[in-house]
Amino acid sequence: MRWMPDSTGRFGWRPYYDQEELDYECERLVTSFLKRKYGETRFPISTDDLSVMIEQETSYLDLYADLSVEGEDVEGLTEFYPNKKPSVKIARELSLDLLRYSRLRTTLAHEYGHVQFHTFLWELGPGKKSTPLWNLGKGKKSTPGILSKIHIQRRTYEQFRKRLASRYALQDSFPFPSNSAAPTFLTGYQPNAALKCKRSRIVDAPFSDWMEWQASYVSGAILMPLSPLRRVIRPDIGEGDSLNWLSSDSASAGELIAKVSTAFDVSPETARVRLEKLGFLQNTQSAHSVTRLSSTAPIT
């Protein structure tokens, strides 16, 4: 993870996660949960287990919320607070209508993405700007508020980064020159805030909205973790130097989408988006992205 200026205006700076980071951490989270509960990993993950994963990280989960007042097509809502765990509300139509079963699953996984990867931002309340960011964690005393709390976030994600370091050599990036003043980290910060997730952005949000894009990527990575997904598609795609990509509109791609949809209990659209984001389905050849992802060692 590294920090970048936030073009959406929600914050002054925002976290950037590589896809490899999200895939690795999502697989770790879901497989750890399943092993604790069942002693083994089994897919597809059940809808009840998705709910429990959210409940463990939130103060409240409402699966039958009336979200009609939140705006058109809002099907999920995550509310953040500075002094307690977030709460999640799911549109009641998704729980009551069996025809929306797949959408319920993707929405639960999407909101889990917000909870797991964005909650810490509301623990970084606004404060005075005195100690530069690059001095934090170096034994220097800092003032209360946002800057003094960044090192807390750094510790929170320290183990996450260590697990990635051996494979990706990632580290935090604070792009501030040593002679400049510390920037305002959370411009437009609100003590309480709600993320309203519309149907059109649950599975495949645009890059321009980084919070929704990250949550939509996590949705696919939780429901279809990379290592189990590779095992399912290996007969169709291959592996290593013999890896093949498929054209998204080909008959073979349609068969692969149906296979993944059944294996992980997701809609064909959700399966297609996941395979395209990983590069296994493409409109044009991109061997680099496919080979990079396929060569990643399974997570244990």
pLDDT tens for 160-181 read: 444 444 433 333 343 433 333 3
Which residues partner with 197 through β-bridges? 76
Cα–Cα distance measured from residue 156 to residue 135, given in angstroms and rounded to the nearest whole number? 18
CA distances from 160 to 24, 28, 34, 155, 157 (A): 9, 10, 19, 9, 5
63 pLDDT exceeds 80? yes
- The better pLDDT of the pair 249, 157 is held by 249
Which residues partner with 195 through β-bridges? 78
107-153 confidence digits (pLDDT tens): 999 999 999 999 888 776 554 332 233 232 333 333 333 333 344 44
Residue 186 exposed, middle or buried by CB count within 10 Å (0-12, 13-18, 19+): buried
Instruction: Please enumerate in sequence order all residues whose Cβ is within 8 A of that of 178, keeping only pairs 6 or more positions apart, or say none.
Output: 132, 134
Name the residue with tokens 């993944």: 260
Contact 78, 111 (CB under 8 A): yes
Cα–Cα distance measured from residue 241 to residue 44, given in angstroms and rounded to the nearest whole number? 29
86 pLDDT exceeds 80? yes
- The better pLDDT of the pair 167, 251 is held by 251
* pTM across the whole model: 0.76
**Mean pLDDT over residues 66-72, rounded?**
87
Cα–Cα distance measured from residue 51 to residue 105, given in angstroms and rounded to the nearest whole number? 9
CA angle 234/237/239 to nearest 5° reads 65
- The better pLDDT of the pair 50, 132 is held by 50
Which of the four pLDDT bands, split at 50, 70 and 90, describes residue 71?
confident
Q: What is the DSSP letter of 148?
A: H
Q: 174-185 as b/e, with b when 16 or more CB fall inside 10 Å?
A: eeeeeeeebbeb
